[in-house]
C-alpha cells in the first residue's frame, strides 16, 4: 500500500482530509502549523516524499517522455488539423451557417495511436475526442463522460471491440427520447467494423443537441442488428419511466458502451 492509499483511511479529527494532505505536500498552504504539531501527519508527509522519489527512480522523466512520444500521433493528418483547415474555408463556413449542417460528416484520415493493452479485458468501449476544446490550433482532446460541451462541437468517436462482436450501431438519444443513428450513416441496421482497440469511426460529427443532453450508445453484436430493435428498447424504457440520463445500458442482449454529453449553454 502506498502512502497515498494509506492516507485515505479514516483520519483523526482536526487532521486534513487525504486530499488536503497531498495538496499540502505538493503546494503547501494552510496546514503548515498543524503539521508542526501532528506527528501522524508529519509521518505521512515523509512517506509521500519517499513515494515520489521511488516513483521517479522507477519512471524517470526521459523514459516517460519516450513512452509518451510513442503514443502521440504526428500532427500532420490529425483530425484537429483537418478540421481547422475545413473550418477556415470561407464558403464552407457560410454554407454551414445557412444550412445548419444537420450532421456534418467528416472523413478522417489517420488514426489515434493507443497502446494495445487497453483491450486486454476483452470488453467493448466507446470514447470520443473533442476538437478545438482549447481554441483553434489545439490538438483534439479526449472527451470524458458527463462532459459539458457547447452545441456545434466536433466529436470523433473511437470504439474498442473484439472480432466476435464486429457489428456496430452507434445511436444518440436525447433528453426527450428522440434518437439519431450516427453509425452507420443511413441504412436500417448495424454495419461491420474493424475489431481492435481504440478504432476511429470513419466519420466525425458536429454535435447539434436540441435538449440538455444526449447519451450515445455503441451496441456491438455478432450478427446485424436492426435499428428497429433499438426503437423498441427505447419504447420499453419510456414505459418503465426510466430516463436516458440514468440509463447507461439499453435493454438489449448485446455488448454496449455508452457515454453522455451535456449541452453547455453559453
Partner 1 sequence: MTNEDIRGLYEKYGSWIFNRARSLLKDEQAAYEAMQDVFVKVMEAGSAFRGDSSPWTWLYRITTNHCLNMIRSRKAWKRALEGVGREQIRLMDEPQENADSVLINKEWFVKQMADEDETTQHIIFYYYFDEMTQEEIVETLGISRKTVYKKLKKFMNKARERL
Residues that bind partner 1 (CB under 8 A): 1-2, 4-5, 8-10, 17-19, 22-23, 26-27, 51-52, 54-56, 59, 61, 64-65, 67-68, 71-72, 115, 117-118, 123, 127, 133-134, 138-139, 141-142, 144-148, 245-248, 257-260, 262
Nearest residue (CB) to partner 1, 61 versus 91: 61
| CB 23 to partner 1: min, Å | 6
| CB 92 to partner 1: min, Å | 25
| CB 183 to partner 1: min, Å | 21
CB 45 within 8 A of CB 73: no
Nearest residue (CB) to partner 1, 138 versus 222: 138
| CB 68 to partner 1: min, Å | 5
Nearest residue (CB) to partner 1, 49 versus 152: 49
| CB 178 to partner 1: min, Å | 19
Amino acid at each position: 500500500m502506498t502512502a497515498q492509499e494509506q492516507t485515505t483511511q479514516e483520519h483523526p479529527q482536526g487532521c486534513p482530509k487525504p486530499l488536503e494532505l497531498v495538496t499540502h505536500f505538493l503546494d503547501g498552504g494552510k496546514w503548515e502549523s498543524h503539521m508542526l504539531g501532528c506527528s501522524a501527519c508529519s509521518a505521512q508527509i515523509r512517506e509521500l516524499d519517499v513515494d515520489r522519489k521511488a516513483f521517479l527512480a522507477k519512471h524517470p522523466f526521459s523514459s516517460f517522455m519516450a513512452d509518451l512520444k510513442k503514443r502521440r500521433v504526428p500532427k500532420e493528418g490529425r483530425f484537429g488539423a483537418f478540421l481547422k483547415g475545413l473550418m477556415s474555408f470561407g464558403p464552407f463556413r457560410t454554407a454551414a451557417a445557412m444550412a445548419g449542417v444537420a450532421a456534418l460528416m467528416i472523413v478522417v484520415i489517420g488514426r489515434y495511436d493507443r497502446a494495445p493493452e487497453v483491450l486486454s479485458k476483452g470488453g467493448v468501449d466507446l470514447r470520443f475526442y473533442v476538437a478545438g476544446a482549447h481554441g483553434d490550433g489545439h490538438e483534439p482532446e479526449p472527451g470524458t463522460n458527463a462532459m459539458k460541451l457547447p452545441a456545434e462541437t466536433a466529436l470523433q468517436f473511437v470504439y474498442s471491440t473484439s472480432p466476435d462482436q464486429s457489428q456496430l450501431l452507434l445511436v444518440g438519444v436525447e433528453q426527450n427520447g428522440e434518437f439519431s443513428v450516427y453509425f452507420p450513416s443511413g441504412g436500417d441496421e448495424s454495419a461491420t467494423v474493424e475489431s481492435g482497440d481504440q478504432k476511429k469511426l470513419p466519420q466525425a460529427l458536429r454535435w447539434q443537441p436540441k435538449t440538455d443532453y444526449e447519451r450515445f450508445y455503441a451496441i456491438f453484436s455478432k450478427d446485424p442488428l436492426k435499428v428497429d430493435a433499438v426503437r423498441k428498447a427505447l419504447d420499453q424504457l419510456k414505459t418503465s419511466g426510466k430516463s436516458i440520463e440514468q440509463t447507461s445500458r439499453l435493454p438489449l442482449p448485446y455488448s454496449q458502451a455508452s457515454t453522455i454529453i451535456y449541452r453547455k449553454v453559453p
